[in-house]
Amino acid sequence: MRRTRNAKIVATLGPASSDPALIEQLFLAGVDVFRLNFSHGVADDHRARAAALRAVEAKHGRPIAILADLQGPKLRVGTFEGGPVQLAEGQAFRLQLDPIAGTAQAVQLPHPEIFAALVPGAELLLDDGKLRLKVERCDAKSADTTVLVGGKLSDRKGVNVPGVVLPISALTEKDRRDLAVALEIGVDWVALSFVQRPEDIDEARALVGQRASLVAKLEKPAAIERLDEVIAAADAVMVARGDLGVELPAESVPPLQKRIVRACRKKGRPVIVATQMLESMIDSPVPTRAEASDVATAVYDGADAVMLSAESASGKHPLEAVRIMNRIIERVEADPLYRQFLEASQSANLPGQTSVPDAVCCAMRRAVALLRPAAIVCATHSGATSFRVARERAEAPILSLTPQRSAARRLVLAWGVHSLHVSEVTEFNEVRMLAGDLVRREGFGQAGDPYVAIAGVPFGQTGTTNLMHIGIV
């Protein structure tokens, strides 16, 4: 079950991929992390899918990570009395808090938080940015606007307010109920939507504690303005390009994606590139060349994972989408330019302030470049050592050993990590004896091959990475 690539695949389960036999096929085809999208389905759907995943995990003896993606606040207009209306450029259009039967002149906007944040001159985007309004006058219960970009508007279409931090929590009451279900079924990662500031992540962490790790979905420009703080507060990051592309010009998203990936690599946080990666495969058995190039770009940049959404959740070809994504990653990583790109970008991702773990891992990276070992063996308790080693993007697979099943599952997301749940070890000699055996058994090398081992002494204490050993299988 050894993967022959470093970047990981996240795939969303849904109506097209809920059969336990297909879930196993998706895992065998290359899925490392399975996403449960709490914007759709009911609690029992997610429980059944999680149970199927744990059965696959037990059958194959390999940790599988489960990511619960919370819906977050959904800001929408009300309903229209006579069906969809047509808004013309230059016309006046009123939004009001109080209930009203919508017309081509006015509609309800049942979100006091939006009115509290609006100022004259602000813009609102409706229906994923297809329509654009400019605020002329506003108060706590209404806003008079001018239509800048017109079009058809129908019931309950979404509203975005670019450039404004809304006084609203990233966790709705629905999210809190869904979070309770997610933690009950034992998910490993929780993705937060609508993150605007690091405090949103702190709020979620107070509820989650140590039961799961947190992914900050970067989909709001306000979060980008505090990017380093948001990354520092989260355990991982998702580049939610679809939502970012609503509030930002389309041409701004590609350089922003690269900026986020680089910032995450510098901080040592796993980063997932998501949204519309193989979108045409919802219907087509093959992707467009542009989609294949999009996936490849994320891999060349050193992203930890690339994600399938509707392609695997509701598309006609979920298994083929995974297989194609797997082939794209393998082809990119076989390209000599791939390693050159990683090497060229690595110096920019060095931490500003170094510590003993940083020094040990930098030495490890140099040793790997010189010796070309069969594997880097990481003995870790919480997973911190393996995440830190993954940040180096060294040219050897990472064999991560941990006695904590939860840590083994979470580490599946990290670049290059082959995660194993093993018995507790209490001294480095045990690691040394175990390392050579596992490198051979897991298919990384054979007798006589060198390996590099990384650990922290004393064992069992988080953040004590202070030892590097070079051994022979």
From the candidates 76, 94, 174, 327, which is the catalytic residue? 76
The helix (run of H) or strand (run of E) holding residue 148 is: strand 142-149
From the candidates 275, 380, 385, 402, which is the catalytic residue? 275
Secondary structure (DSSP) of 324-351: HHHHHHHHHHTSHHHHHHHHHHHGGGS-
According to DSSP H, which parts of 411-447 are helical?
428-441
Secondary structure (DSSP) of 41-91: S-HHHHHHHHHHHHHHHHHHT---EEEEE------B---BTTS-EEEPTT-
Q: Does 275 qualify as catalytic in the annotation?
A: yes
From the candidates 8, 132, 197, 217, which is the catalytic residue? 217
Q: Does 130 qualify as catalytic in the annotation?
A: no
From the candidates 3, 5, 8, 35, which is the catalytic residue? 35
Query: How far is residue 313 from each of residues 60, 166, 304, 378, 390, measured CA to CA in Å?
Result: 23, 31, 21, 34, 29
| Rama region for 337: left / alpha / beta (φ>0; ψ in -120 to 50; rest) | alpha
Contacts of 376 (CB under 8 A, 6+ apart): 364, 368, 389, 394, 396, 397, 398, 399, 451, 452, 453, 454
Q: Does 226 qualify as catalytic in the annotation?
A: no
Tell me if residue 259 falls in helix, strand or coil. helix
Distance CA 126, CA 143 (A): 14
Q: Does 35 qualify as catalytic in the annotation?
A: yes
Neighbours of 319 (CB within 10 A): 18
Instruction: Give the active site residues.
Output: 35, 76, 217, 275
